[in-house]
Structure 1
Amino acid sequence: MAKKVTGEDGKTYKVKKPFYKRIWFWVLAVIVVAGIGSSLGGGGDKESTSSADTSEKTEQSSSKSKEKSSSSKKVDVPAEYKSALAKAKSYASMMNMSKQGVYDQLTSEAGEQFSAEAAQYAIDNVKADWNKNALEKAKSYATTMDMSKQSVQEQLVSSSGEKFTQEEANYAMGKVKADWKKNALAKAKSYQEDMSMSPDAIRDQLTSSSGEKFTSEEAEYAIQHLND
């Protein structure tokens, strides 16, 4: 309510409140201040979001640069190395050779004559099941050459033979299926027919450590069935 005062002329006057004491002034002031605060806060969020986006893009760009750099550092494999690997695959998969046997064949003067480096690259990168190769070789010796179990085992690991590791040879001998008595009989008949040897001489040859290396039982079976 406006305040009334009496002037020097005797008249009564209404005195208006200063504008800063009016309610509408403070309501307006609050609205203005709130608007400024909201504007400032929103700007901060935008700056923060913008900064985060920039940081993420920078990291992605850096990551892509590293990938490109890493890719560009890959050295092309020499043609000789590729050829050695192709040969290694062939020897391992088609001829069932051992790891050492393949390496020696690749570097041999009487073989492929690759450099030691190319051969080693081939051995390191060829995919082969050496245990399986040893087993295939064992089957071949047992079925096509009528060898004894001991002879097959020694042939698999011999440095002048197949050159498989002892573990690979053991695996093969544990898996190979062969009739060793039948093999002894086949050998005995061969000695009798081709070399006209006596039964006693045949028995000795079958069991000799420098001969066929069959067991005494296997040799005796062969002698008993020699004339069947």
Structure 2
Amino acid sequence: MNADNVTTAKAWYARWWVWALAVLLAIGIGSALSGTGTADDGADTAVDYQVDEEGNRAEKKEDAVPAATPEPTAEPSAEETESVQAAEPTVEATTPAPAPAAPAPTPEPALSVSQDSAIRSAESYLSFTNFSRSGLISQLEYEGYSNADAQFAVDSLNVDWLEQAAGSAESYLSFTAFSRSGLIGQLEYEGFSTEQATHGVDTVSVDWYEQAALSAQSYLDFMGFSRQGLIDQLVYEGFSLDQATHGVNQVGL
């Protein structure tokens, strides 16, 4: 075959009708896309789109109401907690304390022979006469007991010294006359306190006018006195002037 008469075949994309067909298809596709875009624009007024992480579009409906999420309960602050705890009364469980054990009785110390003897001597003296505390201690010391044993013996006894003072006052008045102040002074001399002596004298029933007359007679029994001298002597002994004058009158001066 002659080479001049052979027609070389053209590639498909070099033919004119291919390009014409491509143009028509492009126009048709563009028109279709344009119409679709208009419809989509109208739809976009009601529907929104969101693009996910992979680039796909998904409808996002504006009218959709998300499910209500319960609000978390607020935890009370430390100040509020302390305030509530302070307002609430605190009830503490109390356990009764055990009762203290009773102390064991202290055994009484054994008395020495001299202490026991001094106690018996003190009791003997108080059984027949009256003493002050210091007078009884002195009496025991006079009997030969030590001061420690004498004090121990007297203090171990249950003695009412006020009663002893009253008994001693009555004893003195039974054999001699006294003024009130003279008798108080005599009891103090015997070792009673002023309170004890005063109580003892005021306890006994005494007529001090009668005591003044007895005292005036006693003075006249062993020596002579003038009327005024005897009155002065009685006043010196503690009688009042009225009591002393009464006593002198009773003896005839």
Q: Same fold (TM over 0.5)?
A: yes
Q: Does residue 243 of structure 2 align to residue 224 of structure 1?
A: no
Q: Which has the higher helix share?
A: 1
Change (3 A) 1:91 1:99: same
Q: CA deviation at 1:77?
A: 0.8
Distance 1:168 1:188 in 2: 28
Q: CA deviation at 1:192?
A: 2.3
Q: CA deviation at 1:91?
A: 2.1
Q: 1:92 maps to what in 2?
A: 126
Distance 1:141 1:96 in 2: 11
Tell me the alpha carbon deviations over residues 75-100 of structure 1, each in whole angstroms, 9 at most, x when there is no partner: 42111001101111122232110111
Distance 2:218 2:201 in 1: 25
Distance 2:206 2:109 in 1: 49
Write the letter of the residue equivalent to 1:82: D
Write the letter of the residue equivalent to 2:126: A
Q: 1:147 maps to what in 2?
A: 178
Distance 1:85 1:101 in 2: 15
Q: 1:102 maps to what in 2?
A: 136
Q: 1:40 maps to what in 2?
A: none
Q: Does residue 164 of structure 2 align to residue 133 of structure 1?
A: yes
Q: How does 1:146-185 map to 2 (within 5 A)?
A: 146-158=177-189, 162-185=190-213
Q: Does residue 110 of structure 2 align to residue 76 of structure 1?
A: yes
Q: Which runs of 4+ in 1 moved over 4 A?
A: none
The percent identity for this pair of structures is 30
Q: CA deviation at 1:227?
A: 2.1
Distance 1:75 1:226 in 2: 62
Whose Rg is larger?
A: 2
Write the letter of the residue equivalent to 2:167: E
Distance 2:202 2:238 in 1: 18
> Are the aligned partners of 1:88 and 1:123 in contact in 2 as well (CA < 8 Å)?
yes
Question: TM-score, normalised to structure 1's length?
Answer: 0.61
Q: CA deviation at 1:113?
A: 1.4
Q: 1:188 maps to what in 2?
A: 216
Write the letter of the residue equivalent to 1:164: F
Distance 1:102 1:146 in 2: 24
Q: 2:74 maps to what in 1?
A: none
Q: Does residue 233 of structure 2 align to residue 205 of structure 1?
A: yes
Q: CA deviation at 1:104?
A: 1.3
Aligned residues: 151
> Are the aligned partners of 1:96 and 1:136 in contact in 2 as well (CA < 8 Å)?
yes
Change (3 A) 1:120 1:94: same
Write the letter of the residue equivalent to 2:215: K
Any stretches of 5+ residues in structure 1 without a counterpart? Answer: 1-62
Pick from 108, 127, 144: which aligns with 1:113?
A: 144
Aligned-residue Cα RMSD (Å) equals: 2.1
Tell me the alpha carbon deviations over residues 36-89 of structure 1, each in whole angstroms, 9 at most, x when there is no partner: xxxxxxxxxxxxxxxxxxxxxxxxxxx9xx78xx65xx5421110011011111
Any stretches of 5+ residues in structure 2 without a counterpart? Answer: 1-101
Distance 1:87 1:213 in 2: 36
